[in-house]
């Protein structure tokens, strides 16, 4: 199973997977809040997506030779700054901090790409 999860840590695959998971994390709770459905149900349905995004981001950081400690930003909850009030849910601007590891995963090259560049012979 670990090998299956590591396949999503490649940069190209991670971009697609992280986009889908982030959209699911946003859409499920907001949809349930707007439908006057139980909020706990939206949370329960979004939780596996959040856990999988954290795990995949962890392996992406390792693949990119970055510290997996960046994933802590995805786990910590900070409610400060401007907020948007929707019926049944409040979105804080500070929640964008959770996307910092995802953005790093999108940009950072893989460890194999950086080491291959360092080993390349200069051509004259």
Dump pLDDT digits (tens) for 26-85: 899 888 888 888 888 988 999 999 999 999 999 999 888 888 888 998 888 888 889 888
Q: In the predicted model, is pLDDT for residue 122 greater than 70?
A: no
Q: Would you list the domain boundaries of the chain?
A: 2-109
Distances (CA, A) of 82 to 22, 68, 88, 90: 21, 29, 17, 10
Exposure letters 73-105 (e unless 16+ CB within 10 A, then b): bbeeeeeeeeeeeeeeeebeeeeeebeebbebb
Tokens of 2: 């670990």
Q: Is the pTM of this model over 0.85?
A: no
C-alpha closest to that of 113 among 77, 53, 64: 64
């Amino acid at each position: 199973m670990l090998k299956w999860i590591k396949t999503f840590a490649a940069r190209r695959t991670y971009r697609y997977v992280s986009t889908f998971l982030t959209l699911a994390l946003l859409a499920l709770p907001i949809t349930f809040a707007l439908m006057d459905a139980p909020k706990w149900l939206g949370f329960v349905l979004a939780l596996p997506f959040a856990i999988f995004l954290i795990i995949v981001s962890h392996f992406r950081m390792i693949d990119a030779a970055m510290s997996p400690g960046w994933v802590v930003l995805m786990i910590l909850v900070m409610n400060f700054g401007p907020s948007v009030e929707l019926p049944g849910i409040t979105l804080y601007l500070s929640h964008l901090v959770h996307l910092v590891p995802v953005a790093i995963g999108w940009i950072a090259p893989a460890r194999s790409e950086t080491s291959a560049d360092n080993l390349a012979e200069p051509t004259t």
